[in-house]
Structure 1
Amino acid sequence: MHLVSILVSALLAGLLAAVSPLLLSRLPEPTAEPEPDMPVKIPYVELGAVPRLGLWLALPAAVLGAVAAATITEPRLLPVWIPIAAATPVLAWVDWKVHLLPYLIVAPLYVLSWLLIGVSALWMQDASVLLHALYGNLGVFGFYFVLGLLGPMGYGDIRLSAVVGVGLGPLGFIATFYGLFFGLVIGAIAGLVLVRGRLGNQTPIAFGPYLLLGAFAALWV
């Protein structure tokens, strides 16, 4: 049964990620003026039209879906992690290329995360699942909101952190803490490597991918 849940989770996450370029190519372009230190904005339609992008996004999404199914001990908490796994590669792709996390991907993902947590709570007949999701949402979002006030954290990353908090909260305080910790560590290491490679280029680091990878790394704890 455990193997079946791993395969189903990987398949669903991979299929959702495979169609994400179609969604990406239909997103409206942001109307706000870009920050002066940001890279040139590549249109979403171009980002979504890269050959075989669906396949390249589906592969890591399937791996993340399998990781979630293999490591979450309560399978009724798994559903929320499937769309998060599916969205991680496309969000990482966009953030890496244009340093933006599209609101029209993150906001529906946030709403869907709460809906699926509600399904899990009904399935488990345990209202505390919703309470812990709220704690995770507020705690992780609050942490990154303060971090954004103190440093160059983008608000797209702060919004995305709320999604991560909803997923991690029901898994407990330890998982939530390590989700924060691993995200910061992975982001810091990658930032040092990238800044060193840029030889002084001050373009901000795309933090969204590391925030998400930190959450999946915390599932192993």
Structure 2
Amino acid sequence: MPLPVASVVAILLAGLLAALSPRMLARLPEPTGEPEPDMPPKIPYAELAGARWLGLWLALPAMVLAGVAAATISEPALLPVWVPIAAATPVLAWVDWKVHLLPYLIVAPLYVVTWLLTGLGALLMRDASVLLGALIGNVLVFGFYFVLALIGPMGYGDVRLSAVVGVGLGPLGLVATYYGVFFGLCIGAVVGLVLVRGRLGRNIPIAFGPYLLLGAFAAVWV
């Protein structure tokens, strides 16, 4: 498939998947257990999914993110890996912003699909180093965020999501992987300072998942 055609297909597919994501969100089971202290009341997933024109608002940024990946990833066989990541980023950001949770039933399938598409890319390229890069990225990024969760307020949902980012960035090289982590932390730190110490003037929990994902796409762009 010619690269411009593949890019258009990737953008449209990411938009379609994102537009359909509210239906999946509405069917997610609610988390069990006691809410964490100082957390806002949990909004039901079905209520989040019922926001007016949500499918359209999720599709637009997904298409932009897929366009960023399509414009900057030079190896066509690796582009499909970023389509589901682009499609999932807006809905994960929406949920994380509203309820400070990253649903396991979205992140776990995304992780599996990312690995499957990475494996397909390695097969098409006939290059086992793609899988090795994905494994290294998975271990390094997940390990880094796992340590952050042990010593700081990082949620384990963010740690799980970091594994997806690591698998996607790993085949693009150690530099891209480093920048993905660096940009994510920078974006999260800047927004966190604004929310906690800026005009809002109050302590609030920080939804880090959106910044983790945006950092990955920023690294792809660079």
Q: Tell me if the contact between 2:63 and 2:86 (Cα under 8 Å) persists in the aligned partners.
A: yes
The superposition leaves residues 70-129 of structure 1 with CA deviations (integer Å, 9 ceiling, x where unpaired) of 001111111110000000000000000000000000000001111111100111111111
Letter of the 2:211 counterpart: Y
CA distance in 2, matches of 1:37, 1:203: 8
TM alignment of 1:154-193, pairs within 5 A: 154-193=155-194
Q: Is the 8 A contact 2:62 2:90 kept in 1?
A: yes
Alignment match, 1:197: 199
Alpha-carbon RMSD across the aligned residues, in angstroms, is 0.8
Superposition TM-score, scaled by structure 1 size: 0.98
Partner-residue secondary structure (3-state), 1:79? helix
Query: 2:220 aligns to what?
Result: 219
* Paired amino acid for 1:115: L
Point out the more displaced range, 80-89 or 186-195: 186-195
- Contact 1:18 1:55 (C-alpha < 8 Å) held by counterparts: yes
Does the residue aligned with 2:158 lie in a helix, a strand or coil?
helix
Paired residues of 1:94 and 1:100 also in contact (CA < 8 A): yes
- Give the match's secondary structure for 2:133: helix
Correspondence 1:16-165 to 2 at 5 A: 16-165=17-166
Runs of 4+ in 1 over 4 A off after TM superposition: none
- Are 2:195 and 2:204, in contact at CA under 8 Å, matched by a contact in 1? no
Which ranges in structure 2 are unaligned for 5 or more consecutive residues?
none
Instruction: Name the residue aligned to 2:12.
Output: 11
Give the Cα–Cα distance (whole angstroms) in 2 for the partners of residues 9 and 59 of structure 1: 13
CA distance in 2, matches of 1:220, 1:127: 24
Moved more, 191-200 or 121-130: 191-200
Q: In structure 2, what is the Cα distance between the partners aligned to 1:96 and 1:153?
A: 15
Q: TM-score, normalised by structure 2?
A: 0.97
